[in-house]
Amino acid sequence: MTIKEFRKASAAYDVCELVEGQLVPELPSDMLQGRAASNLSGLLFKYVKRVGGGRVLGNKCGLVTDPVGPTVRGVDVLYISHDRFSPKIMRDEFLRKPPEFIAEIKGKNRTWSGLLKRVEEYHKFGVDLVWLVDPKLRAVHTFPNGGKCVIKFEHEMIAGGKVLPKFKCKIARFFED
């Protein structure tokens, strides 16, 4: 299936992705996933408004990680700078440039092996930092491109490093009601 065919066919599904040319249905997020994605999006939105220079997208935003394969992922939360993507180019289409940051939220419908495959795919595409957020463990696995995974728990602070300079908060904020 091509990306163009996927765009038409995906309207018939609530949530799906295109992985190596195959249509892959995905269950909608559960409430724990939804809360963590919304909270993180809100925190990043406030950060971007404060420091400027980028855009936060979420809600399974379509990201073409391989136009030849083809693969289109539905990303939970992403940040892309104005250096990589002009703020004037917001269209009704999938994002085709690698964002600096992606967060995926673990839920019952997602396996660790599947999430780790995504991390590898995102890094290969050019994403600098990936966070896997686990609402049940109340933890975040951070994967810098070319670096080692670090696991942090809700009582700890998390920082965006070089990718999201000056972004810092307690991980527990991702899981607040």
Nearest in space to 106 (alpha carbons), one of 73, 82, 81, 141: 141
| Architecture (CATH level 2) of domain 27-175 | Alpha-Beta Complex (3.90)
pTM over 0.85: yes
Amino acid occupying residue 23: L
pLDDT given for residue 88 in this prediction: 66
Nearest in space to 119 (alpha carbons), one of 140, 139, 136, 138: 140
What are φ and ψ of residue 116, in 5° steps? -65, -35
Length of the chain: 177
Counting as low any pLDDT under 70, the low residues of the chain are 13-14, 87-90, 92
Report the C-alpha gap between 17 and 91 in whole angstroms.
19
DSSP letter (8 states) at residue 28: P
